[in-house]
Structure 1
Amino acid sequence: MSTQKSVRQQADTVEHNALRIEEKKAEQIIDALNTDLAATYTLYHQVKKHHWNVEGAEFHDLHIFFGDFAHELEEAADEQAERLQALGGVPVSGMRALAEKSPVTPEDEDVYTIRASLENDIEMGGDIIETMREHIELTTNLGDHATAHMLREQLLELEEYVHHVEHYLEDDTLVQ
C-alpha cells in the first residue's frame, strides 16, 4: 500500500498532450498501448522464467536466446510506456493491474520441459502478434502514425523471435 499523499495523475485518466492528438483519440490509443504493455510484460516474465530454468544439452544457446528475447521485450515495454505517457496517459504498472489488462495468460509457476516452455512462448507470442496488428490498424486509422510506426517495429522484432522459437521446435537436431 502506498503512503503517497498527493497523486499527480490517477491511473486510467488521460491528460492533454503536446503531440496534438485529440483526447478521445488519445484515450483509445492509450488503452491499446496499455494492453500491449501488459501483454509484453506477461511474455517478458514467462521468457525470463525460461531463461532461469532452461537445462539440457542446448542449455547455453537457449539461455542466451531467452536472455536476448527478454531484453528485447523489456525495451519494447519501455517504449510503449513512454509513448502512452507522452499521449497523456498513465502506464499500467502494478502486478494486479498488469494481470487484469493483459490479453494473454502466462503458464503457471511450475517448471516444464524446454519443448513445452517453447510451445507456450510461441502460443503467447502469436496471440500478442494478433493484438499488435489490430493496434497498428487502430493507431493508423486514428492518425497516430508515430505510434503505428513504433508498433510495426516491435511487431517485426516479436515475429522474428517467435519464428526463431519455431526453429527450436523442429524435429531435426544433432542432439540425441
Structure 2
Amino acid sequence: MSQQEESVHRTFGSVEENALRIPEDKAEQIIDALNADLADTYVLYHQLKKHHWNVAGAEFLELHEFLGDAAYHAEEGADELAERLQALGGTPAAGFDQIQDAATVTPEGEDVYTIRASLENDLEIYGDIIESLRDHVELAQNLGDHATAEILREILVEVEEDAHHVEHYLENDTLVAETAQ
C-alpha cells in the first residue's frame, strides 16, 4: 500500500458531519451542486487563461488585460466554492479526473482560434455557468442553506458582469475584422 493511500483523511465523494448544522442529506445535494459549479469554473478559468496567453491583434492589450482579470475572477470564485463545500463536509473536486467528471460545460479544443471565436466560446460557458448558479442558489435556498445561497449570488454577480463585458467585445464595431488574403 502506498504512503498516499495510507494517509487519506477524507474520501472524495463522501460527506461528513459539519459544524454548520446542515443535515448530511441536504449537505450532500449542495456539495454535488457546488462541485459541478467548481468544475465548470475550472474549465472556464483554463479557457480564459488560454485566450489571455494567445490573444493577438489590434486590441491585444485591452483584451489581454481583461482576460487576465476574468481568469482571476474565476479563480476567486472557485476558491469560494471549494471552501464552502469543504465547510459543508465535502471534498472539492481538484484532480483532473474529478473535474472532468463533475463539469457540465465543454471546453473548446486545444487549437488557437480567432479572438472572436474564442470569446464566443467563453460566452457560451459563461451562459451555462450563469444558469447553473441560478439553479443552485434556488437549491441552497430551498434546502435552508442561506449562506451558500448568498455566496453563490455574489459569485453570480461577478460571472454575469464578466459575461456582459465579453458580450460588449463581440459587438459588430469591435475586434478588428480579419481580411481575406
User: Structures share a fold, TM > 0.5?
Assistant: yes
- Aligned pair 1:9/2:3, yes or no? no
- Aligned pair 1:91/2:92, yes or no? yes
Gaps of 5+ in 1: none
Once residues 63 and 128 of structure 1 are traced to their aligned partners in structure 2, the CA distance between those partners, rounded to angstroms, is 22
Once residues 174 and 85 of structure 1 are traced to their aligned partners in structure 2, the CA distance between those partners, rounded to angstroms, is 41
How does 1:20-39 map onto structure 2 within 5 Å? 20-39=21-40
Gaps of 5+ in 2: none
How does 1:54-69 map onto structure 2 within 5 Å? 54-69=55-70
Q: CA deviation at 1:97?
A: 1.2
Q: Secondary structure at the match of 1:13?
A: coil
Q: CA deviation at 1:173?
A: 3.7
Once residues 176 and 47 of structure 2 are traced to their aligned partners in structure 1, the CA distance between those partners, rounded to angstroms, is 25
Cα distance, 1:9–1:116 mapped onto 2, change above 3 Å: same
TM-score, normalised to structure 1, is: 0.97
Cα distance, 1:113–1:68 mapped onto 2, change above 3 Å: same
Q: CA deviation at 1:96?
A: 1.5
Once residues 160 and 87 of structure 2 are traced to their aligned partners in structure 1, the CA distance between those partners, rounded to angstroms, is 26
Q: CA deviation at 1:109?
A: 0.4
Cα distance, 1:73–1:174 mapped onto 2, change above 3 Å: closer
In angstroms, what is the RMSD of aligned CA positions?
1.2
* Partner of residue 76, structure 1: 77
Once residues 110 and 170 of structure 2 are traced to their aligned partners in structure 1, the CA distance between those partners, rounded to angstroms, is 22
Identity %: 67
Once residues 47 and 151 of structure 2 are traced to their aligned partners in structure 1, the CA distance between those partners, rounded to angstroms, is 23
Q: CA deviation at 1:6?
A: 1.9
Q: CA deviation at 1:113?
A: 0.1
Aligned length: 175
